[in-house]
A and B are shown apart, each in its own frame.
Chain A
């Protein structure tokens, strides 16, 4: 494939994650878009195709009322935790198909405090499932983690190390929500939520927005000194036998995750190996999820995580830096914005201008991974 067919990130913007009662989801999205446009050195009028995603905070295409009524095609996406990746996929495909040479992807959300509200009917389940107290995302993550630790001989300390690294990275990141480092002991001793996971091993629904400007082929190099190539982006739904949230039953194992399929496809298309990755983003709704995703994406083998973490391999100075901005644990999870936050961080790392701790040695290969209900995953490889 020649350079003219490739899609590049040429600008990115982000509204700080966290809680800020003075702004709406749309306010944050507008700010992220304007920052991304300025970063790319283009105007809203130059955007030929746009996609936006939000889970609960409004219709993204109504942003044209704030940004300018240019007539631009603007697709709305609601794809759970893969919302951000889906907006990037929609824009990248449109650019490759010749719809435009410059596109914009934006994601935003502003959630209520506490666990997400659930509806049994919305998931095709009987009322009994929620009434008897089994329909909670936190329970699912705990059940999956409990089994994973058992099967692979990992201890609860591995979970604490994931969270400690997240808060350590978040403490240095100006756009993160949780900015206070916590020790492994403080994390292990925090309130019991659903063992083996404690309070500080879970992320919280929060708020935030992020946006990317994407350009096709030579246009990218005209606009940007260091465009980051979207070497691949693969999106997969679950196949039979995956262990997913809100499952009253599971088939006997082994259980396959859509993350395995999405990561494999992303690496194949980009023609890079997991060992080539120099900066990675993994979905860390909780410490256990990140542990599992490290292996499911191929970044390490099952059961190797504890040793990797203890040796500092996933720190910014390590062999495979993970969630250098603190991930969901330090940033919270505004569902529509979370996937684009990952792109924002990896792009800035590859360009050598990380907002927080910069990975040393000029990394050239980055990776992003999201995973969510009801069994979806999207992975990308970014290169410079």
Chain B
């Protein structure tokens, strides 16, 4: 089965991730872990996601790619109970309620799908970057996007 990332610009293929065996990696077969890629302003240090060419805070700095931390904590969460209207693309089998939230990565909070059991979800929960299937292309390619799942013991 072939897979592709939903949008290459959101990710950076990092070869030297320190603990690569802990990063679930459904997008690639070569062992390289996709990491979220934002941008950092050289002037004020603001980190944004996704990348953008200008700083939303100051007019002085230059923006350069910033690979974001993989671990953080749930900052806020909710459930999407009803199926969103298009352009939402439901997974095969149709819409199932799913969790979304902001994950506090320290330098930036990132909005993401949360691959966390409903019973376990709470503000402050330690979570870690992963990828999950978003939908399938017409040719059968699995399209994956980023998400966060509960941090397992020993991952930090």
**Interface residue ranges, A against B (CB under 8 Å):** 114-115, 117-120, 126-128, 130-136, 139, 142-144, 146-147, 150, 191-197, 240, 247-252
Contact = CB atoms under 8 A, between A and B. Distances in A.
7 contacts: A128-B7, A131-B87, A139-B78, A193-B82, A248-B50, A249-B110, A251-B47
B130 interface: no
Which residue, A118, A131, A147, A251, has most C-beta atoms of chain B within 10 A? A131
Interface residues of B, number: 42
Contacts of B87: 118-120, 127, 130-131
Interface string B59-79: 000000000000000011111
> What 7 A-B pairs come out closest when comparing CB atoms?
A142-B78, A147-B76, A249-B49, A250-B109, A128-B7, A194-B78, A130-B87
Nearest to A196: B78
Interface of B: 6-7, 9-10, 38, 46-50, 56-57, 75-82, 84-85, 87-89, 98, 100-102, 104, 106-113, 123, 134-135, 145
A249 B76 contact: no
B6 A249 contact: no
Given A132-B6, A250-B111, 10 more contacts: A118-B85, A126-B9, A127-B7, A128-B145, A143-B102, A150-B123, A240-B57, A248-B110, A249-B50, A249-B110
A240 B78 CA distance: 24
A252 B7 contact: no
Contacts, number: 110
A113 B88 CA distance: 18
Contact of A146 (B46, B107, B123): B123
A195 B76 CA distance: 11
Which residue, B76, B85, B101, has most C-beta atoms of chain A within 10 A? B76
Q: Is the contact region of chain A dominated by helix, strand, or loop, or is it mixed? A: loop
Given A128-B10, A249-B108, A250-B102, A195 B78 contact: yes
A132 B145 CA distance: 8
B63 to A, nearest CB: 13
B82 A133 contact: no
Given A143-B101, A143-B102, A134 B78 contact: no
B100 A133 contact: yes
Given A128-B145, A192-B79, A250 B108 contact: yes
Contacts of B78: 139, 142-143, 146, 194-197
Contacts of B109: 249-252
B56 A240 contact: yes
B75 A147 contact: yes
B48 to A, nearest CB: 6
Contacts of A127: 7, 87
A135 to B, nearest CB: 8
Contact of B76 (A119, A120, A126, A146): A146
Nearest to A248: B111
Nearest to B104: A252
Nearest to B145: A132
Contacts of A115: 84-85
A192 B80 CA distance: 9
Nearest to B143: A131
A194 B80 contact: yes
